[in-house]
Chains A and B, each alone.
Chain A
Amino acid sequence: MSYRCTAVLVTAVSLLDGCAPYREVESPMRVELDVFSGRPNPSWELSAEEAGELARRLEDLRPVDRAPAEPGLGYRGFVVSMPGREIRVYQGVLTITEDGSTRRYADVNRIEGWLAGQARRHGHGGLVAAIAGEGGPSG
C-alpha cells in the first residue's frame, strides 16, 4: 500500500494529478521546528519549489504502526501545516493528522533531514546543531 501525495497536498498544491515536482502553490505551507517550551518555535513558509519537493518526497510512503516516543523538552520534530492538515515528522515517522484522523508512515524519503537542511538555510543552523546532539536530524 502506498500513500500518494495527492491525498496530502490536495488543497495546498495545484496541478497534483501527476505528483510531479515543482508545482505551483495555492496556499502557503508553514514549517515549524517544534523545539522550544517558552519562546515561540521558529517557523518559515515553503516556497513553491520547496512545496513541490515536499510533495515528491511524500510519494510512495509505507504505513507503519509504531508511534514515535512521546516527545518532551527539547526537539519534538518538524510540523508542516496547511489548511485542514498537519504533518509531523519526528524520529523517522510521519504523523499525518487530517479530519480528526491520524495515519503514520515511515520517513523513507528522509523528509526530516531535508527539513533540517531548510532550517539551516532559514538561519537556524545553531539550533539544528544543538538538536543534532539531542537526537534530532543534522540536516
Chain B
Amino acid sequence: MIVTLDVFSGRPNPSWTLSEKEARQLTDRVASRALPAAAGVEGILGFRGFVVHGPGDDTAKKAALPDSFRVGGLLSGEFVAPEGVAASALRVEEADDAAKWLLTTARGEVEDEVLRYVEGALKEPAQQREGPAGKKGGKGAEPAEDAQDEKALAEAKKAGVVLAACVIANTAYNPGFWNVPAVQPHNNCYNYSMNYRSDTFAQPGRISGHPNNVMQCANVATAANWDGCKALCSGSNKNVALVIWPGVDYHWYRKHSNGFWGHKPGSTAARNTDNSGKVIGGVLTPANCNRGPYTIFCGYRFSPTGMKVK
C-alpha cells in the first residue's frame, strides 16, 4: 500500500510504500470500515491527512478496504466502503490514532521538520479542534507569521538556547465552534486565542499555577508564558497578539489561516472585525485596528499547537 502525506501546496507531496507488516497493521485498524474518500477538501493549506492507495486495483479489495481512502486531516464528508461490506464509519478518535500511527511509518521518508509539524497538528485534541491546521511555515511561511522578536531572539542566542524550527500552524476561521449557547458564555478571548475550550473563562497563568492580577503587558504575558505561550517561535505554533486596557483588563487576538485575525471579546461572539466593524486583515492588524479602551499593544506572540488553558 502506498501512503501520501497530503501537506504541501507547491511541492509534490511525499509518498512511501508500507512494508507487508505495516500494511497488515493498517488493515487491522481500518478494514471493513467506511473511510473518508481520498478526495480532500480544497483550499486548505497545511496538513490535510494521509491518502492511502493500493498498489494495484485488487490489493485493497482483498484487504476489505476501498481502493483509496483518507486518514486524518480535514474530511470532505464523503465516505467510501469496500464493496459488499456494510460498514460503520471510522470514528474521529480512531482516525486520529491511525493518522498518528501512519506518521510513524513516514520516518526516513519525510523531512524531520515536516514530521514535527504534522505531529503538532495531530496533537490537537479532536474535541477541541475547531478547524484544520492551516498554514505551513518554514521556508514557505509568510514573513509576518514567523517573524521573531529580535530582542528576545538575541537574548535566547546569548543564553545558548537552541530553538527548533518555527512552524506556523494557524487554523481556519470557525466562529461556529464558539458562537453557540453551550460555548460562547463560558469562554473568553484567552480561550479563543489559544484555541482551547475550557468552559472556565480561562485566565493566563491559572492552568500553570501562576495567576496574575496586574493588568500590564509584562505581567499578563509572563502569566501566559507559564501556560506555554512564548515570545519566540519554536516548533508548531499559532500567531497570537496581546493588548491591554491599562490597569483594567487584557485582550488576545489569534491569526487564522485565512489571513485575517479573529478574537472573542469576553462572553460575546467570536468575530474577525474590530470596533469599527472592519475585518482585521491586510493592512489592518491587532496593532492598528480599533480596540476601544485596549490602547496598549503589547506585541505578537506564539501559542504552541495543543496548548491548554483553564
Are A41 and B274 neighbours in the complex by a CB distance under 8 Å? no
Main SS at interface, chain A = loop
Partner of A74, one of B190, B201, B275: B275
How many chain A residues have a CB neighbour from B under 8 Å?
Answer: 17
The docked-state distance in angstroms from the alpha carbon of A138 to that of B62 is 76
Q: Which residues of B contact A37 (CB under 8 A)?
A: 188-189, 249-251, 264-266, 294
Chain A proximity of B188: nearest CB distance (Å): 6
Q: Does B268 contact A (CB under 8 A)?
A: yes
Instruction: Give the residue among A35, A36, A38 with the most B Cβ atoms within 10 A.
Output: A38
Cβ contacts A to B, 26 pairs, < 8 Å: A34-B267, A36-B249, A37-B189, A37-B249, A37-B250, A37-B251, A38-B188, A38-B189, A38-B250, A39-B203, A39-B215, A39-B249, A39-B250, A41-B266, A70-B277, A71-B265, A72-B265, A72-B274, A73-B265, A73-B291, A74-B245, A74-B292, A76-B265, A127-B248, A130-B248, A130-B293
Decide: A134 and B250 in contact? CB cutoff 8 A: no
Since A37-B266, A71-B268 are in contact, a sample of 18 more A-B pairs with Cβ atoms closer than 8 Å, ordered by chain A residue number, is A34-B266, A35-B249, A36-B266, A37-B251, A38-B190, A38-B249, A38-B251, A38-B252, A39-B215, A41-B267, A72-B268, A72-B275, A72-B290, A72-B292, A74-B293, A127-B248, A130-B248, A134-B293
Judge whether B294 and A73 touch: CB under 8 Å: yes
Expressed in whole angstroms, the minimum distance between the Cβ of A96 and any Cβ of chain B is 17
Tell me, in angstroms, the Cα distance from A98 to B294 when the chains sit together. Answer: 33
User: How distant is the Cα of A36 from the Cα of B252 in the complex, in angstroms?
Assistant: 12
CB 8 Å contact bits of B248-292 with A (1 = contact, 0 = none)? 111110000000000011111001011101000000000000111
Q: Does A40 contact B (CB under 8 A)?
A: yes
B182 CB to nearest A CB, Å: 15
The residue in chain A whose Cβ has the minimal distance to the Cβ of B193 is A38
Binary contact readout B187-212 vs A (1 if CB under 8 angstroms, 0 otherwise): 01110000000000101100000000
Collect the chain B residues with CB atoms within 8 Å of residue A38's CB. 188-190, 203-204, 220, 249-252, 266
CB contacts under 8 Å to B, within A44-88, are 70-74, 76
Given A37-B249, A38-B249, decide whether A73 and B190 contact each other with a Cβ distance below 8 A. no
Query: What B residues does A74 contact at CB under 8 A?
Result: 245, 275, 292-294
